[in-house]
């Protein structure tokens, strides 16, 4: 980890460029999410699932002074980058190592978060695990708390799904002219070289995608699973082709 300390600011910048080249309008959608949160009642504690370098957490703290955000991620390097990225909010941001593949990942987290957010992460899980995560998230929220998720989804209609996939592929091809930032594997292999690993991206891939695939799921299924997990008033707040912001409120009677 010491070998990375000097280049962490550079790695944060490259990560942001890579993610922006992978997901259309990523920064604007973060802005939309963070415009929702201050309008909710009494938001003081936020949980950011798979915080990465803390991009969304940073925007939340910029827009909600005095709030506290807990950012969880399974990767030590990501958490170090998040700490650096949010050093101006060090009194309000707590990075915690957690792996969503572990069944008790939530066990020592408080169960009174006002809002739980996630971005571009839960789609990698198989459907049965997503349903379990939604139930876990519901348990971490106070009654009346909100879950807001920005993620990639499939369509129930095959032809529309093909249109969505093609449009996203064209965007990524058009954005892929950055030599360093546009390729996930190259990014992590360069990080790995600093750690003495020649194939770090493959090692990380096995941890990130234990089943070797990215399963996604339809938007309809996500809203249905949320409703089955204790959420009421489930809603899609935004959708553009395969990118959606969806979530719901924890039912008051639960």
What pLDDT, on the 0 to 100 scale, is given for residue 42? 87
| pLDDT tens readout for residues 34-57 | 999 988 888 999 999 999 999 999
Is 90 exceeded by the pLDDT of residue 221? yes
Check which CATH number belongs to the domain holding 68 and give it: 3.40.50.150
What pLDDT, on the 0 to 100 scale, is given for residue 127? 86
Q: pLDDT grade, residue 180 (50/70/90)?
A: very low
Mean pLDDT, to the nearest integer, of 184-189? 81
Is 60 exceeded by the pLDDT of residue 215? yes
Q: What is the pTM of this model?
A: 0.92
Q: pLDDT grade, residue 106 (50/70/90)?
A: very high
Top mean pLDDT of 87-91, 125-129, 165-169 is at 87-91
**DSSP 8-state secondary structure symbol assigned to residue 154:** B
Nearby residues of 110 by Cβ (< 8 Å), 6 or more positions away: 45, 140
The C-alpha R_g of the chain, in whole angstroms, comes to 18
Q: pLDDT grade, residue 205 (50/70/90)?
A: confident
- Give the ranges where the chain is alpha helix by DSSP (H): 2-5, 8-22, 26-36, 55-63, 76-85, 127-140, 158-175, 184-194, 200-208, 219-228
Round to whole Å and give the CA distance between 153 and 123. 7
Q: What residue numbers bound the domain in which 155 lies?
A: 2-250
What pLDDT, on the 0 to 100 scale, is given for residue 254? 46
Q: Which residue has the higher pLDDT, 20 or 205?
A: 20
Q: Worst-scoring range by mean pLDDT, 64-73, 80-89, 245-254?
A: 245-254
Round to whole Å and give the CA distance between 100 and 121. 10
Is 50 exceeded by the pLDDT of residue 104? yes
Query: What percentage of the chain exceeds 70 in pLDDT?
Result: 93
- Provide the number of structural domains found in the chain: 1
| pLDDT tens readout for residues 112-153 | 999 999 999 999 888 889 999 999 999 999 999 999 999 999
């Amino acid at each position: 980890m010491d070998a990375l300390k000097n280049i962490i600011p550079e790695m944060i910048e490259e990560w942001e460029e890579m993610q922006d080249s992978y997901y259309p309008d990523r920064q604007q959608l973060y802005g939309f999410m963070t415009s929702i949160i201050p309008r909710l009642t009494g938001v003081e504690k936020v949980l950011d699932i798979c915080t990465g370098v803390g991009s969304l957490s940073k925007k939340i703290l910029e827009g909600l002074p005095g709030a506290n955000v807990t950012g969880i991620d399974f990767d030590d390097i990501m958490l170090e980058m998040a700490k650096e990225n949010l050093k101006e909010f060090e009194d309000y941001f707590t990075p915690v190592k957690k792996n969503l593949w572990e069944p008790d990942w939530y066990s020592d987290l408080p169960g009174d978060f006002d809002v739980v957010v996630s971005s571009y992460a839960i789609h990698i899980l198989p459907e049965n695990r997503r349903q379990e995560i939604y139930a876990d998230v519901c348990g971490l929220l106070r009654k009346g708390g909100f879950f807001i998720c920005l993620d990639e989804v499939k369509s129930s209609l095959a032809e529309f799904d093909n249109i969505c996939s093609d449009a996203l592929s064209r965007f990524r091809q058009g954005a892929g002219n950055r030599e360093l930032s546009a390729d996930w594997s190259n990014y992590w292999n360069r990080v790995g070289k600093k750690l003495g690993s020649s194939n770090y991206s493959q090692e990380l891939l096995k941890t990130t995608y234990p089943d070797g695939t990215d399963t996604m799921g339809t938007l309809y299924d996500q809203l249905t699973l949320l409703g089955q997990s204790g959420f009421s008033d489930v809603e899609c707040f935004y959708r553009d082709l395969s990118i959606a912001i969806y979530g719901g409120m924890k039912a008051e009677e639960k």
